[in-house]
Structure 1
Amino acid sequence: MRIVLLLSAWLLSLGAVAAPNDVASLDRSTWPEQLSNPTLFDVASRAEILMFARVLLDTDAMDEIALKQYLGLRTVNMAAIDTLRARLWQRLLSNYNFAQRSCDQDASFCYLVENMATLREEAGRFQLDDNSYYIKWAEPSRIFHTQYRDELLRKAALFPQTSSEIERFGDYERNGDDMNDRMFLLTFDSGANVVPDHTPWLTEYLRKSNMSGTFFVLGKDIQTRLADRSVNSLQTLYSGQCVGVQGWEFRSHSHWQDWQDSVRRSVELVKGKLPENYVPLFRPPQGQRRGDAQSFFRNQGLQVALWDIDPQDSNSRLKPEQSAQRALTLMLLWRHGVINFNAKQDAVKTAMPWLITQTAQSGIGWEDCQDAFR
C-alpha cells in the first residue's frame, strides 16, 4: 500500500504543472521540423508514440485506490480502465511498427521494438539529452500526453454510467480503429449552439479541396432550414458530402425517454430530403447513448458513429490554433482515425484548414465519406 501511495504522490507531483481537468494541447512550434514528407511524419509519429507510452507506463502500477485519488473520483470502473490500458498498449505497438518502416531513411526515435515487452522497456527509459535537436519539444509533449492520458482514464473510470467515445458497446458501433494506416476521416457535429452554423463555409471549402466529410445533423435544424429554403438549396449545400444524424435535438440520448423517436424522426427527414447524401450513421451527442440499444440500431439499419480524435474545438479554454495543434498531435500518435469537429464553432474555420495545410505533404490520406464505416 505504501508503494502505491508513494507512486500516486509522485504522479501527482509530475502533473502539478497542469490540473487534472486541463485540456491537452501541444504547441507544434516546439517540434523543429515540418511534416514535409512521409518520412518526417513518421519521425514525429515515433516521438509522440514513445512519449505517450512513457506516461502511460507511469499509471500501469496504479490500483483502484491510487486511481481514485489521482483522478479525484469517488468510484472508478477498474474493468473499463484495464480494458482501455490494454487496448492503448496494443495500438501503440501496432502504430510504432508502422512508424518505424522508414527508419532506414531517418533513424530518429528508432529503437529495437519487436514486441510489447521491448516497447515497454524503451518507453521506460525514453528521455532526451539536453543537447538533443528535439529538446524544446520534450517537456511540452510530456505535459500534453499526461493530460491526454488523464482525459482517457477519467472517461474509462466513469464508463458506462457516463457513456462516451472511450469504449464501444458492440460491433454495431464504429470508430477509427479499423482504418488503414495514415487514413483519416473528417466528421462534423451539429453542436449545442444554434448559431453560427458554418456548414455552408465548410462544405464549400471541402468541395474546392476535392475532399468530403460526414456531417451529423439535428433533425430540428434541418426542419428549420426547410421552413424558409427549398429542398434543392439543402441538397446543393451538402453536394458531394455525406449526412448522418445526431438526433432531433442536441441532448444526451442515454437517459432521454424519447431517444428512439429522436433518431427515427431524424433519419426519416434526412433520408427523405437528402437521399444522395444520407449515410445510415447516428452520432450520439457528446458520445452519450444507451448500452442496450443494439437491437434498435440493427432494426433501423444504423451504425453508431464514434470518433477517436477530438480537437476539442468546442472547448472555450482552447484557442482555434490550439485545437488544430491538438488534433495534429493525436494524428501523429494514432496514425489513423475519425476526427470530430464542430460545425457550429468558429474555431473550425481556423483549425480544419490549418490541419489540412500542415499535413498536405506528409503522406496521409483523407477517407472518402462514402467509403467510411462500411
Structure 2
Amino acid sequence: MYFRPPKFITKLFPGFIWSFPEETDSVFLTFDDGPNPEVTPWVLEQLRKYNAKATFFCLGKNVEMYPETFKMILDEGHAVGNHTYSHQKGWSMSVGGYIQDVDLADTFIHSTLLRPPYGRIKPSQAKVLAERYKIIMWDTLSRDYSRTLSRRGCVNNVIKVLRPGAIIVFHDSFKAEKNLRYALPRVLDYIQNVKGYRMRSIEY
C-alpha cells in the first residue's frame, strides 16, 4: 500500500510543490532525516552508479554533528534542503517556535528548500516560511521507515505508481536502513532501465 497525498490536502496548500507535472522524462528522488555517516555515503554510492542526482532534506542537528558527511552530499553535486533542526512536528508548535527551529537549521544547511517533517505544518507557519523558502512536499512515499512494511513492499510503493515529475521520498536514516538498502538499488534500476527516466535534483 503506497501513500499519495489526497487531493483535498494539496488544494489546502496550493503554494507547496507536490510534484512537477510539466516534466515528461524526469523524476525527483529525495532523502529525509540525514546526513547519517553510515547510511548517507552508501546512498551516494548507489546514486553515483546510475548518474542520478537527488535532493537531501537534512536535519540541522545532523549537519552540525556530521559536517563531513554533509560536505560529501554537496561535493557529489546533489541539492540540499532544510528539514528543521530537530525534526519538529509543526502541528504541535507555536509559529515562533517552529520558525526558530527552521532558522536554526538554516545556519548549517543554507538552502531555500524546506520540507516539513511528517508534512505537518500549520498554514500560519507556512505563510511566514513561504516568504523565504520553497516548501517541497511529495507525491510518492516509499515508507522505507516502516517496521511492518516488507522490503519488497517498499519497492512496490514506488514503482507501481511511478510517473514523470514524481517527487519520491526515501530516508537516509538508521530507522529506514533495512528497507532502503534493499529498495533503493531496485528502484534506481527500474527508473533508469525500465522507464528510462532521468533522476534530477530539485533546483530553485
TM-score, scaled relative to structure 1: 0.48
1:252 to 2:89 alignment: yes
Matched, 1:315 2:146: yes
Work out whether 1:340 is the aligned partner of 2:169.
Answer: yes
Q: How far apart are the structure 2 equivalents of 1:168 and 1:199?
A: 33
Report the CA distance between 1:349 and its aligned residue. Answer: 1.6
Tell me the equivalent position of 2:47.
206
The amino acid of 1:202's aligned partner reads V
1:270 is aligned to 109
d(CA) in 2 for partners of 1:281, 1:195: 20
- Partner of 1:167, secondary structure, is helix
**Structure 2 SS opposite 1:238:** helix
Deviations for 1:136-173, whole angstroms, at most 9, x for unmatched residues? xxxxxxxxxxxx5xx66xx759x7xxxxxx42544431
Which aligned pairs between 1:1-374 and structure 2 lie closer than 5 A? Answer: 24=1, 156=6, 166-190=9-33, 197-226=38-67, 234-239=70-75, 240-257=77-94, 258-271=97-110, 279-299=111-131, 301-331=132-162, 334-344=163-173, 345-346=176-177, 347-369=179-201, 372=202, 374=204
Structure number with the bigger relative contact order (C-alpha 8 A, sep ≥ 6) is 2
What letter is aligned with 1:268?
A: T
Q: Percent identity?
A: 20
Q: Which string of whole-angstrom CA distances, capped at 9 and with x for unpartnered residues, describes residues 179-208 of structure 1?
A: 4134210000117xx978511111122123
> Contact between 2:28 and 2:166, CA under 8 Å: does it hold in 1?
yes
CA–CA distance in structure 1, aligned partners of residues 70 and 26 of structure 2: 29
> Is contact 2:37–2:66 with CA below 8 Å preserved after alignment?
no
Separation (CA, whole Å) in 2 of partners of 1:294 and 1:317:
32
Structure with higher Rg: it is 1
After TM superposition, the structure 1 stretch with the greater mean CA deviation from structure 2, 260-269 or 205-214, is: 205-214
Q: Cα distance 1:364–1:293, how it changes in 2: closer, same or farther (>3 A)? A: farther
Structure 1 313/267 Cα, relative in aligned 2: closer, same or farther at 3 Å? same
Structure 1 residues 234 and 196 mapped into 2: Cα distance closer, same or farther (>3 Å)?
closer
- Are the counterparts in 2 of residues 174 and 373 from structure 1 also a CA contact under 8 Å? no
For 1:201, give the aligned amino acid. Answer: W
Higher strand share: 2
CA contact (8 A) 2:61 2:86 kept: yes
Gaps of 5+ in 2: none
Deviations 1:217-246 (A, max 9, x none): 1111111224xx5xxx64234321111010
Cα 1:315–1:196, aligned 2, differ >3 Å: closer, same or farther? farther
- Structure 1: segments with no counterpart, 5+ residues: 1-23, 25-147, 160-165, 272-278
1:99 maps to which residue? none
Return the alpha-carbon distance in structure 2 between the equivalents of residues 246 and 169 of structure 1: 21
Q: Structure 2 length as normaliser, TM-score?
A: 0.84
Q: How many residues align?
A: 198
Give the 3 Å change call, closer, same or farther, for CA 348–360 of structure 1 in structure 2. same
